[in-house]
């Protein structure tokens, strides 16, 4: 099983809609591939958090740091993409001009 195969079966794995043979392959792959093990563990924990509907209280300091980090990332833009400030300053193309 490749990582791509593993990822394509992840939804079936969590839905319990996977054959016993394929389930064993998924388990073997995640046991031998650190990256897929992390994906599996993170996905499992994310589902548990949403399923439990737990609310987490964040300190004001943490909220401010998180907000600043998000803004910094947005302003920098994604790799290969113009920073947000440059994108918003560029004139929009009209539909007629296309």
Q: Report the predicted TM-score, pTM, of the whole model to 2 decimal places.
A: 0.51
Q: Which residues contact residue 23 at a Cβ distance below 8 angstroms, ignoring those fewer than 6 apart?
A: 13
Q: What does the pLDDT read at residue 95?
A: 47
Q: What does the pLDDT read at residue 53?
A: 75
The one-digit pLDDT tens for each residue of the chain (98 residues) are 899 988 898 888 888 888 999 889 988 999 999 999 999 999 998 888 888 776 778 899 999 999 999 888 888 766 666 655 555 555 555 444 44
Q: Which residues contact residue 7 at a Cβ distance below 8 angstroms, ignoring those fewer than 6 apart?
A: 36, 39
Domain ranges of the chain: 3-52, 60-89
- What is the b/e burial string over 1-27, where b = at least 16 CB atoms within 10 angstroms of the residue's CB? beeeebeebbeebeeeebeeeeeebbe
């Amino acid at each position: 099983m490749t990582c791509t195969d593993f990822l394509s079966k992840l939804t079936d794995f969590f839905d319990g809609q996977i054959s016993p043979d394929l389930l064993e392959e998924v388990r073997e792959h995640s046991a031998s591939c650190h990256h897929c093990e992390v994906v599996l563990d993170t996905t499992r924990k994310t589902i548990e958090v949403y399923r439990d509907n737990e609310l987490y209280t964040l300190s004001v300091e943490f909220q401010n740091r998180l907000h600043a980090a998000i803004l910094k990332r947005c302003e920098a833009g994604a790799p290969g993409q113009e920073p947000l400030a440059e994108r918003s300053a560029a004139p929009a193309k009209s539909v007629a001009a296309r």
